[in-house]
Chain A
Amino acid sequence: MNMTERLIEILKNSGADDYEITINDTKAWEFYFIRHELDQNRVRNTKEISVKVYKKSEDGSSLGFATAVIPPTASDEEIEKTVKDLVFQASLLKNRPFELTGPGESSIETEESDLKEQSYGFIKTMDEIPEDENSYLNSYEIFIERTDRRFINSRGVDISFSYPYSMVEAVVNARNEKEEIELYRLFEMGTLRKEVLNENMTEMEKMGLNRLRAVPTPKTEGYPVLFSTDDARNIYYYFIDNTDAAMVYRKLSSFEIGKSIAEEGTGDKLTLKALGRLEGSSSNFPYDEEGSPVRDMDIITDNVPVNFHGNRMFSQYMGIQDSFSLTNIRAEGGTHSEEELRSGNYIEALEFSDFQVDPITGDIFGEIRLAYVHNADGSGYYVTGGSISGNMKDNLGSMEMSCSLRQYDNMLIPRITKLYKMNIAGVE
C-alpha cells in the first residue's frame, strides 16, 4: 500500500465527515548567475502531501476544517496522529456549512516540458541578451519547474494533471561616467517565451539608461499618471479582489452584481474576464485547488460586475454553486490608442520601488524610481525620486485604458492605464 492509499484508509476511519488530499510532486532545476558566470546550480525534488479534513457539528449547523502538510517520510503513527489532530481541530471550528466538489475523474496532460531542454533554452536566451558597456546584466536567477498534481476528495473526485512553471529574476545595470544604477524584474511564465524575455530585457536596458538621465521629480500638480509596465497589474488586482466572493461576503467590497462600479464618468468601461487558458501563462491549471473546473467566465462587463469568483466556501455563501478560483485574467475595455493616452500633460510611471494598490482601502502608493514627465507643449524629461499616491475609488469613473493589450504571465491587460486623480510628491 503506498502512502496515499494509507492516508485515505486512515482518513476513512478517522471520523472525518469529508476530506481533500493534494499531492504536488515537483522537480526543479535552478541556476544562479553573477554577470554570466554560474554562481550556483541546484536541483530540487520535493513531494508535498496536503490533507484537509472537514467535520460537521452534531446538528449539522456548522462545518469545521483543518489542514496539514504530511511529509512523505511520515510513519503510519505520525499520519494517524496528524489526522486525529485534524479531526479534533476541525470539530472546534464553526463555519457555515458548504459542499465540496464532486464527483469526477480525469487525467490531463497539460503543456509538455523537459527540465533539461527548458534549462538550456533559458540559459542560452539570457546569455544572448544584447549588452554593452553602459547597459548590462548584473545578475540573474533561472528557475525551471515541473509539477505533477493529484487532487482527491471524499466526494469521488480524483484528478491528475501536470504543469510547467518558469521564473527569471534579473538585475540590469546602467552606467555613465558619474553613476551606476540598477533595475530589478521578476518574470514568470509557463515554458520559455524567448521573444517575451528578449523584449522585456531590452526594455529594462533602455529604462536603465533613461534613469541615468533622470532629474529629481518636480511638482507636477494635476498631472494624470500613466502606468505602462507590469506594475499596472496591481490596478487590475483591485478589481479581481473586489469581485472575490470572500471580499464581497465579508462586506470588504462594495461591488454588487448588476450595479456599475463607477458613477457615469468620462472614463473607459472595464471588462474583466477569467480565462481557462492563456498561452504562455504559468497558471494554466484545468482545476483549481479545490478540484473545481476552471473555465472562461465574465467577471465585469462594461463596469458592471456579472459574476463573483472564489473558493467554494465563500462562493456558496453568496449563493454561487459553480464558481472557482481565478487562474488567468483578461482586462479590456479601453477606447484609446497609446498615442492618445500619451498626449497633453502626464507623468508616465516606469519603475517604482514597490507599487501597491490596497484592495480593501483602495489606497495607491509607490516611490518613483523612474518616470517620464510629458508637458502639453511636447517637451518631456525623465525624473526620479518622490512618490505617487491616490485612491482607486477616486479614479473609477475617469480611468482610461488603451485598446492594445500586453501579457504579463497570467494577466492580459491594457498596455497603458491612465489615472487622473493622483497626488505626486516631488523632491523639488
Chain B
Amino acid sequence: MRSVFSEYLVSITDTVKDMVARLAETYDYVSALATDSKGFAVRISNSSKSASNRTMTTERGIVFRVSRRGLYSEYAFNDLDPEKEDEAMERLEQALEDQYDLLYSAGVREYETPELDDEPLELFVEKETEILPEDCELETMVNDLVDICEKAKQMDERVVECYTSAQSTHISKMFISRNRFLRQSYVYSEGSVAVVAANEEDNKFAYKAVSGLKGPEIFRDLRSQLEPCIKMADELLSSERIVPGEYEIITDPSVTGLIAHEAFGHGVEMDMFVKERALGKYYIDKRVGSDKVTMHEGALCAENVTSYAFDDEGTLAGDVTEIENGILKTGICDALSAKRLGTVPTGNGKRENYAHKVYTRMTNTIFDSGTDSLEDMISSIKKGYLLEGCESGMEDPKHWGIQCIVSLGREIIDGKLTGKIVSPVIMTGYVPDLLGNISMVSSDREVFGSGGCGKGHKEWVKVADGGPYLKTIGRLG
C-alpha cells in the first residue's frame, strides 16, 4: 500500500509557492519546509492504559528560511490559512524585521554564509507499507498489549509492572524553494516490551524493542519479545557488580550500534567542524580504527525509522562511507555547514520538527560486517565479557571520550561463557583506542531504530544504528 501524501500539504502548496516567490523579491535565498505527519501511540501497562495521536515526530506546521547579505533567518508557525496569505506574509516579514532591529541595536556581528545552492529538482515519493497507521485496528492491538502485560506477571511473579508501547507515524513533508519542489511520504513504527522485576534487594528493568520502516504490522512481533525480556530481567536480578577494569569485550549489535552512534556519529557531524568542536576535522584520511573498521552513515544505507528520500533542507538522502578499513574518509553535513566548509551536503540536515532549527544529524549509522563467527570470537577471549543491550550513551567529539551504558555483561573465561552476569555496566574510553583494538567482526549485522538522539541535551530526532558483533578492548566500570 502507498503511504499517501498529505491532503493538507496539497491544499497549501500554491500558497507556499506564492509566499516563496514573494519573499524572493526581498531575500537572496528562500525556502519552506511544510510538514503534516500523523500517527498514534498506545501505551499499556498493568496499571495504566492510554492512547494518543502524538508520537516523537507527529507535527503540522511550516518554516520559512530566508537569507539576506549572508545572514540566515527562519520563521516557524502553524496557522497558515491559504485565504489569509497576505496576513501571513505581513506577520512573517514584521517578525523578522523586529529581530533585525534588535540585532542592529545590540550591535550584533553576523556570521556570513554564502548563498545556498538551489539547482532545479523535483521529487515525489510515496513509500510502500503494509498497513497505514490511520488504518490500524486499534482494538485488536490494545487487547494484545493488555494480554502481554498480564502474561508477564503470570510468567514470573517477580514482575512488578510490564510496560508495552506501540507507535506508528505517517510522515509527509514538502520542501519548496525557487527551483525545488520535493514531496515525500513514508511510514515508520516502533514498539517495545519492558518489565520491572523485583526481589528483596533490587529492582531491575529489562526491555526489548522492534522498529522499522514499516506500518503497524510490525507490532505482531511484540509478543515474541516478552519471553526474552523476562529472561533478561531474571538474569539482571541474579547479576553481580563488575570489578572495574580493562577487559577484552565482545559487543552485541545493539552495543555496536551505540558505539557507532557515539564514536563516529556525533564525532563527524560537520556543523561541529564549523564551530571547531570536533577533533574529527583534523583526522580526515588518517587512521582512527583498525583495518577491520568500516562504517556507513546515511538515510539510504538501511531501511529503518529515518530512511527518508530528502532531508529537512531539501537535500537528497545519501550513503556516506565515513570510515574505510580504519581510515576516516569524511563526515556528514547539513547544507549551511557545507557552504561554510566549502563542501557538499550529505542529506543529514534534520529538525526536531518544523519549529526547530536544522543541525547536522545522524540517520542510519552502521558498522560493516566482517567474516568472523560469534563462537570464534568468544573462544578467543581469555577473560572478558560479552556486552548486551544498549541503554544510553554520550560522546565528547572535542576529546573523543565515550560513555556507553550497557544492560549486562556475560563473563567469558578461557573462551567459554561462565554463566555469570554483571550489571549495570558502564563502558568508557578513548574512541581511537576502542576502534583501534577491534580485532574480530562477525559476518551478520542488525539495525535498531527504537531510540532517539539529542544534540547536547535537546533537539530530539529519530535515528537508527547497528552493525555486527565486534571484539575489542574496553574499560568497564
**Could you list which residues of chain A lie within 8 angstroms of chain B, going by C-beta atoms?**
29-34, 36-47, 64-69, 71-73, 82, 85-86, 88-90, 92-95, 116, 119-120, 123-124, 127, 138-139, 169, 171, 173, 180-182, 184, 186, 246, 249-252, 313-314, 317, 353-354, 356, 358, 360-363, 365-367, 369, 385-389, 423-427
A100 to chain B, nearest CB (A): 15
The 3 closest A-B pairs by CB, nearest first: A425-B477, A425-B244, A354-B394
B329: interface (CB < 8 Å) = no
Residues of A within 8 A of B76 (CB): 42-46
- Answer whether A119 and B102 are a contact pair too, CB < 8 Å, given A89-B138, A360-B205, A367-B403: yes
Residues of B within 8 A of A180 (CB): 398
Please measure, in the bound complex, the distance between the C-alpha atom of A74 and the C-alpha atom of B111, giving whole angstroms: 39
B203 partner, pick from A46, A317, A360, beta carbons under 8 A: A360
Binary CB contact string for chain B from 416 to 449 against chain A (1 if under 8 A, 0 otherwise): 0000000010101000000000000000000000
Residues of A within 8 A of B241 (CB): 423
Please measure, in the bound complex, the distance between the C-alpha atom of A69 and the C-alpha atom of B91, giving whole angstroms: 24
Please measure, in the bound complex, the distance between the C-alpha atom of A64 and the C-alpha atom of B52, giving whole angstroms: 12
Please measure, in the bound complex, the distance between the C-alpha atom of A237 and the C-alpha atom of B313, giving whole angstroms: 38
Residues of A within 8 A of B203 (CB): 252, 360-362
Residues of A within 8 A of B71 (CB): 38, 40-41
Does the CB pair B79–A73 fall under 8 Å? yes
Residue of B nearest to A91 (CB): B139
Does the CB pair A67–B95 fall under 8 Å? no
B98: interface (CB < 8 Å) = yes
B108: interface (CB < 8 Å) = yes
A340 to chain B, nearest CB (A): 29
Q: Show 18 residue pairs from A and B whose CB-CB distance is below 8 angstroms, ordered by the A residue.
A: A38-B103, A42-B73, A42-B75, A43-B73, A43-B95, A45-B75, A47-B79, A67-B50, A73-B8, A93-B51, A249-B47, A354-B392, A356-B392, A360-B196, A366-B426, A385-B401, A386-B428, A425-B244
Please measure, in the bound complex, the distance between the C-alpha atom of A272 and the C-alpha atom of B73, giving whole angstroms: 44
- Answer whether A138 and B51 are a contact pair too, CB < 8 Å, given A353-B403, A387-B403: no
Query: How many residues from B make CB contacts under 8 Å with A?
Result: 82
B120: interface (CB < 8 Å) = no
Does the CB pair A32–B357 fall under 8 Å? yes
Residues of A within 8 A of B146 (CB): 94
B292: interface (CB < 8 Å) = no
Does the CB pair B424–A361 fall under 8 Å? yes
Does the CB pair B49–A387 fall under 8 Å? no
A34 partner, pick from B48, B51, B274, B401, beta carbons under 8 A: B274
Residue of B nearest to A45 (CB): B77
Residues of A within 8 A of B428 (CB): 353, 367, 385-387, 425
Residues of A within 8 A of B48 (CB): 95, 246, 313-314
Please measure, in the bound complex, the distance between the C-alpha atom of A356 and the C-alpha atom of B74, giving whole angstroms: 35
Does the CB pair B73–A369 fall under 8 Å? no
Please measure, in the bound complex, the distance between the C-alpha atom of A40 and the C-alpha atom of B29, giving whole angstroms: 14
Does the CB pair B74–A42 fall under 8 Å? yes
